[in-house]
Amino acid sequence: MDNHHGARKIDVLLFDDINLLDAAGPVQAFEAANTDGRARYRTRYVSLDGGPVRAGCGLRLVPDGTLCAAANGADLLIPGGAGVDALTGNPDLHEIIRKRAETQYRLISVCSGALVLAAAGVLNGLAATTHWSREEDTRTYPEVNWDLDRINITQGRVFTSAGVTTGIDLALSIIQADCGPKLALAVARELVVQLRRTGGQSQYAFHLAGQFAKGEALSQLIEKVVATPHLDWSLDALADAAGMNARTLTRRFKRDTGETPAQFVEKVRVDHARGLLSGNMPLKQVAVDSGFGDLQRLRRAFQRQFGVQLSDYRNMFT
């Protein structure tokens, strides 16, 4: 661990209309890492004035103290929630964050908490993520390399995550970096979550599309495509797997997903390719494993989906 003198300290910022899960999720993961009589993490709850706040769910929260510019040996974790909108316009908070960014300690955001870091200017020139529903808000900060499909992103001592339960994913990645994979796995088992999720935010939207599709045949087909994007998913192959003709399948796809089968398959494959690009896999292999077959098809799909060249995307986000 970076802090060799006892537990690593983390200040958790509380504010009115905080999303309780954004704070409780990662904090519970850090607490679960304090096993075998070892205090590896110690959290302290702070608010801007040291006074109590009320979470978005209505629960009253009483902090341990006041947030101050001096890190005092602690990382800073900023959750998300509707109250973030007020924080992005708070210059005093931004100054505190900028001073914290000059120290050796970490800045961690969950969900829309990343917008607070962006407003303070500490994400400029960095890759970052936040909740998918905040896409419009991210345009206020064009200096940040936003990738809203990523579950979490680490840039040196700055950490951002997509939102709500992904705060646990981020905490697990920090625990793994600090304490090793064995402890991170033990924490994941304790919380009954995955140690590392594959895919991005959009992939979970794909799974949800399958769960809410009308009719078991279409639901099962969507799940198959998401699970095995590398297979032949031509329209005829899709129709055959669903046990219906191509015309009926197309009509039901448009009804339940708002897209044609081909559009849906391409989005799934691009999402899968994005996950593969986070590693060092050769681009030709990424094209094969994600179902595009050849590199040129993968490049064209990225251009259609994101309006950027595949090489530019990889340079920016990997």
Q: Contact at 8 Å (CB) between 202 and 151?
A: no
Amino acid at residue number 55: A
Backbone conformation region of residue 148, classed left if phi is above 0, alpha if psi is from -120 to 50, else beta: alpha
Handedness of CA 202, 183, 193, 2 (dihedral sign): negative
Handedness of CA 145, 150, 156, 159 (dihedral sign): positive
Whole-angstrom CA distances from 265 to 124, 212, 249, 280, 296 are: 34, 17, 13, 24, 17
Amino acid at residue number 285: Q
The residue from 57, 68, 111, 179 that is catalytic is: 111
Residues paired with 152 in a beta bridge: 161
According to DSSP, residue 259 is labeled S
Residues in the chain: 318
Q: What is the DSSP string of 134-188?
A: GHHHHTT-TTSEE-TT-SEEEETTEEEESSTTHHHHHHHHHHHHHH-HHHHHHHH
Q: Cα 93–99–103 angle (5° rounding)?
A: 135
Whether residue 57 lies in the annotated active site:
no
Helix, strand or coil, per DSSP, at residue 65 = strand
Token reading at 219 = 């639901």
Q: What residues are labeled active site?
A: 111
